[in-house]
Amino acid sequence: MTALAAGFDDSSHDSQRVFRAVLDAFSHPGRILAIPAKVEAPGALSIAATAFLLTLVDRETPLWLAPDLDSAEVRDFVRFHTGAPIAPVTAAAAFALITPARQPMLDGFAIGSDPYPDRSATLVIEVPALRGGPNRTLRGPGIDGSIIAGIAGLADSFWSEWAANRALFPCGVDVVFAAGSELLALPRSIAVQC
């Protein structure tokens, strides 16, 4: 039996700070934000993904775990600290934790409906790094003109999936890339040029 990783030292203030970093990331897509709180990451999760879960996931939001991130350690952590039910299928998930090993990456998650586009999944994608990968140009709400993002570890096919997701607007999934203790958001409104 392994010891349970610790959550936030101060759940109220730490989750507020992390939320503001996430909000900053969503309102400035392509910008890299550091997680302003200390957490222990369970299993194969990054610090950023762990802090994101502790901040936004709870008993109202089913969480789907990709098989390569799923472990007893992660499940215990999620159950103890957040109370979130583990979603049995992707379509039932409000949030999902995945890696680029899942192919196709964005398939099968809730995209919302035209009257209720907010009823869509938010995916946290664990990547090796948020810098140093192939450069992509991002444009859309939150970006002053354009911004370059160099997310590492993604197959080229991800970007054609993203273009298809963008075409569903206002429906579609929203993505947060997590690496180490940093994150970068890609809301569905963002167009990406290779």
C-alpha span between 180 and 194 (Å, rounded): 25
Contact 184, 149 (CB under 8 A): yes
CB of residue 103 to another protein, shortest distance in Å: 24
- Of 73 and 174, which CB lies nearer to another protein in the complex structure? 174
Looking at 28-115, list the stretches that DSSP marks H as alpha helix, in order from N- to C-terminal side: 47-56, 72-81
Is residue 148 part of the contact set for another protein (CB under 8 A)? no
Number of H helices, E strands in the chain: 4, 9
Q: What end-to-end distance do the CA atoms of the chain give, in Å?
A: 46
Decide: residue 150, CB within 10 A, 0-12 exposed, 13-18 middle, 19+ buried: middle
CB of residue 68 to another protein, shortest distance in Å: 26
- Of 58 and 68, which CB lies nearer to another protein in the complex structure? 58
CB 66: neighbour CB atoms within 10 A? 20
Within positions 21 to 80, which residues make up the interface with another protein, using CB under 8 A?
22-24, 26-28, 55-56, 58, 60-61
Does an H or E element contain 18, and which? helix 11-27
Contact with another protein (CB under 8 A) among 2, 6, 9, 20:
20
Within positions 93 to 122, which residues make up the interface with another protein, using CB under 8 A?
94, 113-118, 120, 122
CB of residue 57 to another protein, shortest distance in Å: 8
Interface size with another protein, residues (CB under 8 A): 39
Q: Rounded to an integer, what is the distance from CA 163 to the centroid of its chain?
A: 18
- Of 52 and 153, which CB lies nearer to another protein in the complex structure? 52
Residues near another protein (CB under 8 A) are: 11-13, 15-17, 19-20, 22-24, 26-28, 55-56, 58, 60-61, 94, 113-118, 120, 122, 141-145, 169-170, 174, 187-189
